[in-house]
Structure 1
């Protein structure tokens, strides 16, 4: 018997909180991004679109928390997809998964994507915030902001 709580038990309250308090969530955890969003134009949760992207990525049963369409200040009809990942347990492939979701969303919708991570694990040292590789002069360097709940 294991003492680990299933991922969905950690994620469900976060999903509800994000749905109900998205603007406050962004202001508290990601104030720089919050300041660049035109909140007067509203925002839309894209849960069905996200499910399609995850299925297309063929990554199995991996749940991403929320994908939100927002409008940036000064952006004429442009919009930005924000992918918020709440991670409660350490995973070696977490940075790669963040990268895969980011490029799949970009590929499918041809929109800029900000991938933001909330880490809820209990290892103060674990702070994955980039994925990349370099092969024959072709370089990929994907970096994303990480918030560690232990810091609060």
Structure 2
């Protein structure tokens, strides 16, 4: 059986800067490419549900011309999941709590089903106020005008 999750992590890690250039080119302007440090597996325990979650890819990066760092969390989602935004927020909160660094969250939706654009926001609100509005970057492969496998092949070829 093919371990798609492991392959995803290896692909993004190997072509990390190319991935950002392709989908988040504005981020390239404020990061120091030579400072990339891929962090070990981040495992989070959900004591209320007795479950463990593992962040797919977490990278520590220095801001360009600064001494400070930020984290980039990239999560691959290969199947539809109810309340996915809440999970992204949970990862964000735990990473921020552990490292005390700004976190730039991104999800790559890699499934073919449900071709409608996916949300990039998680909100918590009451009738009288918004308590939280959490946003994350989205790459939805089934929304690309070209086949995403071709995009990967082209970018690998030219790197």
TM-score, structure 2 normalization: 0.78
Is 1:17 the counterpart of 2:11? The answer is yes
- CA distance in 2: counterparts of 1:105 and 1:26, whole angstroms: 20
Match of 1:150 among 142, 150, 156: 142
Is 1:140 the counterpart of 2:132? The answer is yes
Q: CA deviation at 1:103?
A: 1.0
**What residue number does 1:128 align with?**
119
Gaps of 5+ in 2: 145-159
Contact 2:117 2:140 in 1 (8 A): no
Q: What is the root-mean-square deviation in Å for CA atoms of aligned residues?
A: 2.0
Moved >4 Å (runs of 4+) = none
Q: CA deviation at 1:13?
A: 1.2
Q: CA deviation at 1:126?
A: 4.6
Q: CA deviation at 1:24?
A: 1.4
Q: CA deviation at 1:145?
A: 1.3
Gaps of 5+ in 1: none
**What residue number does 1:26 align with?**
20
Q: Deviations over 1:57-82 (max 9, x none)?
A: 5472333210000011132x210100
Q: CA deviation at 1:26?
A: 1.5
Match of 1:117 among 107, 132, 142: 107
- CA distance in 2: counterparts of 1:89 and 1:72, whole angstroms: 33
Q: CA deviation at 1:138?
A: 5.6
- CA distance in 1: counterparts of 2:119 and 2:23, whole angstroms: 17
- CA distance in 1: counterparts of 2:83 and 2:125, whole angstroms: 18
**What residue number does 1:78 align with?**
68
- CA distance in 1: counterparts of 2:131 and 2:71, whole angstroms: 24
- CA distance in 2: counterparts of 1:138 and 1:129, whole angstroms: 17
Q: Deviations over 1:47-106 (max 9, x none)?
A: 24x22xx23x5472333210000011132x210100001111110121000001001111
**What residue number does 2:84 align with?**
94
Question: Which has more helix, going by share of residues?
Answer: 1
Question: Which has more strand, going by share of residues?
Answer: 2
TM-score, structure 1 normalization: 0.82
